[in-house]
Structure 1
Amino acid sequence: MTTRVLIVRTSSLGDLVHMLPAMSDIARHIPDARIDWIAEESFAEIPAWHPAVAEVIPVAHRRWRKHWWDARTRRERAALRANLGGRRYDVILDMQALMKSVWLVRQAHGVRHGLDWKSAREPLASLFYDVRHRVGFWQPAVLRQRTLAAAAFGYALDGAPDFGLTALTDGVPIDEAAVIMPSASRDDKLWPRDDWQRVFDDLQGRGLALRLLAGNEAERARAQALIQGREGAVVLPRMSLREVAGQLARARLMVGLDSGLTHLCAGLGRPTIGIYKASTPVRTPLEGAAYTASLGERGQSPTARQVLDAIDQALA
């Protein structure tokens, strides 16, 4: 008999990557589970990559909130409400614990699970669940999500995290190249130019080509400025999320700021070094099957020497 499961976690990119090991756990411990997942439309590819996820139901909160009362937005919200209202699940698990995720949880039929008052980021969300679970707030994100899933389904958490992304990595040849993510969503996460130059010198001295990622024109301009006059370095063109994942899967290693793509690279099992400056790695450290280093702290970025030492270890 199939156990029908609805997962609610809409965004962001890194948060969805952190969710993937919990899906592997559910599939392993509840082998008859059929897992559907509600995710933000721009990140819907990520849950779809996991073999245990049967269907991804896209939601467009980020687009809708800019035009909440437009006719198109109202039609799309009504269509989603009708879609979810026609479904019945054995377990509805809100792994986001925000009021915006509660809005989605309440539209589907089934036993609703989520975090309790002390565990939720927005405690009011806990009032809307049928079953509430206590999960340590300051646990690393991957462990926190795995622990919540284990509590909801009644199994004991065990084993290393499995991101379920082998379809993107199996048989993929590794290039002699380093992928660099020098941009982030906020300027206070940026790392000094001189430090980047020291890292670039080191990587190219090891015979590695440099491939820089950029998501918009401002990021592209910043990346181009960082490699100006440097042979063997390119800024990659704008790509789909899957194409970016392909670049990461082939990389010898990645060095990047605290961003969703840096966490994706770690989840793909490639050596990854993360530079933290405006956030703490306590809650969102890099995790993966290969070497990872989460360097720095809120208000204190790592030195170039620390990053170079991590590169030594990653390539050892």
Structure 2
Amino acid sequence: MTTKILIVRTSSLGDLVHMLPAISDIARHVPQAQIDWIVEENFAEIPAWHPAVHDVITVAHRRWRKHWWSAETRAERAALRQNLHSRRYDVVLDMQALMKSVWLVRQTHGLRHGLDWRSAREPLASFFYDVKHTVNFWQPAVTRQRELAAAAFAYTYSGAPDFGLQAVIGGAVIQPYAVIMPSASRPDKLWPVEDWHKVFLRLQEHGLALRLLAGTEAETARAEALVAGRADAQVLPRMGLNDIAKVLSCARVMVGLDSGLTHLSAGLGRPTVGIYKASTPVRTPLEGPAYTASLGERGNAPSAETVLSALEQALAYRDASSAPDSLEGSYSLSGSDFI
């Protein structure tokens, strides 16, 4: 008998990437699972990449909140409500535990699972679940999501996280370039220009061109200033997630600030070095099947020397598509480890 499941996790990019291993676990442990996923419209590609996801339902909170009471927004909200009311699920699993996700959960039909008062980021959300689960807050996000899914469906998971992105990276041929993500959603996450230049020099010594990602006009301007005068560097135009995933999949290595695209690179199996300055890698370290390094800590950015050391290890990694001598593993270090 088919078990119909609705996953509620709408954003953000990095959090959705962290969700993917839990989806793989559910597909592996729940017989005949039919998994639907409700997600913010800008990130619809991510659940669609996973082969176990049956249907992707989009919501537009980010767009709607700008004009919540406009006729167009009201019509779109009504259409979503009708869509959710027309479906019947065995389990509705809220893996976000925020009041904005509860707003969606309350429009569904099915046994509603979520985090309990002590586990939820917004504890009030726990009042709206039929079944509540305890999951330790201070642990990596991938582990936290896998534990919540395992508790909801009463199984024990094992093994390394499977992001289910094989279809996305299938046929990717590694090219001699490094992807750089020098921008972030907040200015306090930015890394010093002179440190980026040291990274660029090291990558040049390894014969790698630079491909910089930028999403907004301000990010594009910052990236162009960062590589001004470099013939080996290209600031890529704004792209959709499918095209970004293709660029990342073919990169020799990726170095980026703590951003969703850096986490996507790790999930895609590319050697990835993450730079943390205004956030902690305790809860959101980079995770993936290749080499990853999560460097720094809130208020304590990693030095250029620390990043260069990790970069050398990332460049030494060889996956199955390039060479048999793999250097596997990941690590997470704060700046205090080098004081």
TM range (shorter): over 0.9
Q: Distance in 2 between the 1:69 and 1:195 partners?
A: 47
One-letter code aligned to 2:17? V
Q: Distance in 2 between the 1:237 and 1:79 partners?
A: 34
Q: Deviation per CA, 1:226-248, whole angstroms, max 9, x where unpaired?
A: 11111211101111110000000
Q: Distance in 2 between the 1:129 and 1:221 partners?
A: 46
Deviation at 1:13, TM superposition (A): 0.4
Deviation at 1:20, TM superposition (A): 0.3
Deviation at 1:31, TM superposition (A): 3.2
Q: Distance in 2 between the 1:31 and 1:207 partners?
A: 48
Q: Distance in 1 between the 2:105 and 2:159 partners?
A: 29
Q: Distance in 2 between the 1:207 and 1:31 partners?
A: 48
Q: Which residue of 1 aligns with 2:337?
A: none
Q: Which residue of 2 aligns with 1:293?
A: 293
Q: Distance in 2 between the 1:81 and 1:73 partners?
A: 12
Q: Which residue of 1 aligns with 2:168?
A: 168
Q: Distance in 1 between the 2:103 and 2:110 partners?
A: 14
One-letter code aligned to 2:14? G
Q: Which residue of 2 aligns with 1:200?
A: 200
Q: Which residue of 1 aligns with 2:158?
A: 158
Q: Which residue of 1 aligns with 2:32?
A: 32
Q: Deviation per CA, 1:198-252, whole angstroms, max 9, x where unpaired?
A: 0000001100010000101100010000111112111011111100000000000
Q: Following superposition of structure 1 onto structure 2, how do residues 86-105 of structure 1 map, counting pairs within 5 Å?
A: 86-105=86-105
Q: Which residue of 2 aligns with 1:229?
A: 229
Q: Which residue of 2 aligns with 1:7?
A: 7
Q: Which residue of 1 aligns with 2:330?
A: none
Q: Which residue of 2 aligns with 1:266?
A: 266
Q: Distance in 1 between the 2:292 and 2:60 partners?
A: 32
Q: Following superposition of structure 1 onto structure 2, how do residues 120-199 of structure 1 map, counting pairs within 5 Å?
A: 120-199=120-199
Q: Distance in 2 between the 1:93 and 1:40 partners?
A: 16
Q: Distance in 2 between the 1:252 and 1:120 partners?
A: 38
Q: Distance in 2 between the 1:72 and 1:11 partners?
A: 22
Is 1:16 paired with 2:16?
A: yes
Three-state SS of the structure 2 residue aligned to 1:109 is coil
Q: Following superposition of structure 1 onto structure 2, how do residues 241-256 of structure 1 map, counting pairs within 5 Å?
A: 241-256=241-256
Three-state SS of the structure 1 residue aligned to 2:55 is strand
Q: Deviation per CA, 1:24-48, whole angstroms, max 9, x where unpaired?
A: 0000001300000000000011000
Three-state SS of the structure 1 residue aligned to 2:89 is strand
Q: Structure 2: which 5+ runs fail to align?
A: 317-339
Deviation at 1:315, TM superposition (A): 1.3
Three-state SS of the structure 1 residue aligned to 2:110 is strand
TM-score (structure 1 length as normaliser): 0.99
Three-state SS of the structure 1 residue aligned to 2:180 is strand
One-letter code aligned to 2:83? N
Q: Structure 1: which 5+ runs fail to align?
A: none
Q: Which residue of 2 aligns with 1:240?
A: 240
Q: Which residue of 2 aligns with 1:61?
A: 61
Q: Distance in 2 between the 1:245 and 1:224 partners?
A: 21
Q: Following superposition of structure 1 onto structure 2, how do residues 205-224 of structure 1 map, counting pairs within 5 Å?
A: 205-224=205-224
Q: Which residue of 2 aligns with 1:43?
A: 43
One-letter code aligned to 1:298? R
Deviation at 1:86, TM superposition (A): 1.0
Q: Distance in 1 between the 2:295 and 2:6 partners?
A: 35
Deviation at 1:102, TM superposition (A): 0.5
Is 1:304 paired with 2:294?
A: no
Q: Deviation per CA, 1:267-301, whole angstroms, max 9, x where unpaired?
A: 00000000000000000000000000000000010
Q: Distance in 2 between the 1:303 and 1:77 partners?
A: 47
Measured on the aligned residues, the alpha-carbon RMSD in Å equals 0.5
Q: Distance in 1 between the 2:122 and 2:308 partners?
A: 39
Q: Deviation per CA, 1:118-164, whole angstroms, max 9, x where unpaired?
A: 00000000000000000000110000000000000000021110000
Q: Distance in 1 between the 2:239 and 2:144 partners?
A: 31
Size of the aligned set, in residue pairs, is 316
Q: Distance in 2 between the 1:167 and 1:157 partners?
A: 23
Give the % identical residues: 76
Q: Following superposition of structure 1 onto structure 2, how do residues 68-87 of structure 1 map, counting pairs within 5 Å?
A: 68-87=68-87
